[in-house]
Chain A
Amino acid sequence: MATKKTVTKNRSLPKSPTGITGLDEITRGGLPKGRPTLVCGSAGCGKSMLGVEFLVRGALQFNEPGVLMTFEELPADVIMNARSLGFDLDNLVAKKKLFLDYVRVERNEIQETGEYDLEGIFVRLNYAIEATGAKRVVLDTIETLFTGLTNAAILRSELRRLFGWLKEKGVTAIITGEKGDGTLTRNGLEEYVSDCVIMLDHRVIDQVSTRRLRVVKYRGSTHGTNEYPFLIDENGFSVLPISSLGLAHDVSSDRISSGIPRLDAMLGGKGLYRGSSVLITGTAGTGKSSLGSYFVGAASRRGERSLYFAFEESPQQIMRNMRSIGLNLEPFVQKGLLQFHCSRPTLYGLETHLAVMHKIIQEFNPRVVVIDPISNLINTGSANEVRSMLLRLVDFLKSKKITAVFTSLSSQGDNSLEETEIGVSSIMDTWLLLRDIELGGERNRGIYVLKSRGTAHSNQIREFIITGKGIDIRDVYVGPEGVLTGSMRLAQEARQSAEKLSRQLEIGSKKRKLERKRAALEAQIAALRAEFEAEDAEAGQVLAQENELIKQLEMDAIAMGKSRKADRFLVPRNGNHKD
């Protein structure tokens, strides 16, 4: 397997992949091949399920048949339980990919006398392994033998022999064991199975349970050492190695719309960066969810998948409410572009919530995720836990370049408005604050961009108006009267337009007055001119009469001369009258 030169150094331990989501990541490839692994934990922590899934996935994905030897559960029960995780054991048994063997240990049926060994179990295991060609064996829970048989010395030596024998057989085995007081298992199985120990835990804090898994020990291999949350759901077991991924993720300078043009304008004109995290905080009823819904609506219109995690409302309720403000999300849901996942925060523990979200996001692969609201999660954990959970979620989303919108309810009161209860604002890229502006006996919504990394965002408060036609963002009135919103803004606007109108009227009347004056003056000018013209005409007439008179006198003189038989005629003065 290894190159000859690096005999010991680089020869990695051969591993047998479990096929269980996340577990192979934590164990860096699976369980130690050909060796037994101890899986321990308290009752109901999922040990058996882990074992069953290990076998089923081995048979289905890796073509490694398996043997399940149960000491507590009847095969019929095992089959039924596995069916609830979507595994058809009957089919696997029929195909000889799986061998089920139930070992009944009843103390009151058995009388012990003298020396014995557990060869019966060896024979059964051997038979099962050979019948199926098994590579994987699960013993669930072999410790039951300690309750059925009294001779602990024999049991211990036989178990030691059994595990040695399993190794010899080269099968990868899972031995389950119940957690004891202060020990990993009640009967100290960890003494015999020491290659790999996985501990499962099922904690209930404030009536909310969280399942966790930890690799306690893995001889000869590195492994994730944290406690990882895991889920058991209809698809089986999944471990979610969600840790803080650090700050090495790629960033995008791609910008996407928030679904509200005016808000995009406030965010430097182009909207949000893809893959950024957006926090929307606000008091009750300020429109956080509506803003979130517009966001997914915009993503859907772009043809991108989006996920909406709601902790307060059902999908139907959200869709109805959004319809009432002019946003119909239903077609997007039908087209499969939008998915709602609604659950009460108290449904499971914080880690489980994270794990569920992680899983759903992995499966759906959305571009936009809305989580509405995160403030509710505080019900299931301390502020510290919530912060660490969100940090991991944000890191995870960023690493996948998913734009995330988180809404958070702020409690009333001025001081807390600019701080989130969980103190997550520092891990967010953009923070939109919605707030009530109480003025003139009414409440209006104001929106402003508290921060937005990497954008030249607006520093203005805008009025955030939710109407039957949609969300509208308007300028608030800022003037000598202060910041006005709502009806006061409208009143102010009305007042302003009235003033404008009256000013206009005033100008008109002044204009008209001037006009009249001009007309009067012009009339005066015309009258004078007429007078002058009359004068002028009269003067002409007098002159003409004068001339006529002179002419007449001349004529008369001529006539007189004629009549007196004068020899010469007087020349007329004007020369006009030649004839």
Chain B
Amino acid sequence: MKPKTKRAARKSCSKPAAPKLDGHYDLRLYVAGQSPKSLTAFANLKELCDVHLAGKYRIEVIDLVKKPQRARDDQIIAIPTLVRRLPQPIRKIIGDLCDQRQTLIGLELSEKDGD
């Protein structure tokens, strides 16, 4: 990878100008290239969001192979990592999201959805 020495934003908490709608989910999925785990994670996430958050979510996929400095800026250790940036507080879920229940708990959606 070409290392980019310039780093735009150091802290992950500097928010993009996202519409702050109530109940809006701003999600970021960090992957490294087209690895099977990354692909699985994306597929799992997409499916889950379509079911539980239809119309009120946004997924940004960040490929660390292309943007390695983002790993440091956003404190990413594991791949794949899903970060819920909105609603606050920030939540991190690592893994390929194959366990939907765990993922929902991680996104704090399980209560709404479950019983």
Contact = CB atoms under 8 A, between A and B. Distances in A.
Interface of A: 101, 103-105, 109-121, 123-124, 126-128, 130-131, 145, 148-149
Given A124-B71, A126-B68, A130-B3, A114 B96 contact: yes
Interface residues of B, number: 37
Q: Which of B37, B41, B72, B102 has the most CB of A within 10 A?
A: B72
A111 B1 contact: no
B5 A113 contact: no
A115 B93 contact: no
25 contacts: A111-B105, A112-B93, A113-B93, A113-B98, A113-B99, A114-B41, A114-B96, A116-B95, A117-B37, A118-B79, A119-B35, A119-B64, A120-B30, A120-B76, A120-B78, A120-B79, A121-B77, A124-B71, A124-B72, A126-B1, A126-B68, A127-B3, A127-B68, A128-B72, A149-B78
A117 B105 contact: no
A228 B98 CA distance: 52
Interface string B75-98: 111111100000000111111111
B27 interface: no
A116 B31 CA distance: 10
A111 B81 CA distance: 10
A127 B69 contact: yes
Q: Which are the 9 A-B pairs with shortest beta-carbon distances?
A: A111-B106, A119-B79, A114-B95, A113-B102, A127-B68, A114-B98, A120-B76, A114-B96, A113-B95
Interface core residue of B65, B75, B78 (most chain A CB under 10 Å): B78
A115 B72 contact: no
A111 B68 CA distance: 23
A112 B77 CA distance: 12
A110 B93 contact: yes
A104 B73 CA distance: 11
Nearest to A155: B78
Contacts of B76: 120, 123-124
A117 to B, nearest CB: 6
A103 B92 CA distance: 14
B94 A112 contact: yes
A115 B95 CA distance: 5
B95 A131 contact: no
A127 B41 CA distance: 24
B92 A111 contact: yes
B32 interface: yes
A58 to B, nearest CB: 20
Contacts of B90: 109
Contacts of A114: 40-41, 44, 95-99, 102
Nearest to A145: B77
Given A111-B105, A113-B98, A128-B72, 16 more contacts: A105-B77, A109-B92, A110-B92, A111-B106, A112-B102, A114-B95, A114-B97, A114-B99, A115-B37, A117-B79, A118-B77, A119-B32, A120-B78, A120-B79, A124-B71, A126-B68
Contact of A116 (B71, B80, B105): B80
Nearest to B41: A114
Given A112-B102, A130-B1, A131-B3, A120 B97 contact: no
Nearest to B5: A131
A105 B76 CA distance: 9
Given A111-B102, A116-B37, A123 B71 contact: yes
Contacts of A115: 37, 40, 95-96, 98
A116 B38 CA distance: 9
Interface in B51-83: 64-65, 68-69, 71-72, 75-81
A117 B78 CA distance: 5
Interface string B15-36: 0000000000000001010010
Nearest to A129: B3
B11 to A, nearest CB: 12
Nearest to A101: B72
Contacts of B81: 116, 120
Contacts of B105: 111
Contact of B94 (A103, A104, A116, A126): A116
B68 A113 contact: no
Contacts of B94: 110-113, 116, 149
Contacts of A110: 92-94
B112 to A, nearest CB: 16
A159 to B, nearest CB: 12
B104 to A, nearest CB: 9
Nearest to B73: A124
B71 A120 contact: yes
Contacts of B77: 103, 105, 118, 120-121, 145, 148-149
Contacts of B65: 123
A282 B3 CA distance: 71
A111 B91 contact: yes
